[in-house]
A and B are shown apart, each in its own frame.
Chain A
Amino acid sequence: MSNWDRFLDSFFNARVAWEYLPRIVDGFWLTILLALCIIASGLAAGLGLAVARSLGLRPLNWLIVFLVDLFRALPPLVIIALLYFGLPAAGLSLSGFAATWLSLSLVLMAFAEEIIWAGITATPRGQWEAARSTGLSFLQTLGWVVLPQALRMVIPPLTNRTIAITKGTALGSVVAVSEILGAAQAGVSFSFNPTPLTLGALAYVVLFVPVVILGRWIETRFAWKR
Chain B
Amino acid sequence: MPELAGKELRIVGFLCNWCSYGGADTAGVGRFKQPTDLRIIRVPCSGRIDPLFVVKALINGADGVLVSGCHPRDCHYSDGNYYARRRLEMLKQFLPFMGIDGKRFHYTWVSASEGQRWQKVVTDFTRQVHGIGPLHEKKEAAK
The yes or no verdict on A and B being binding partners is no
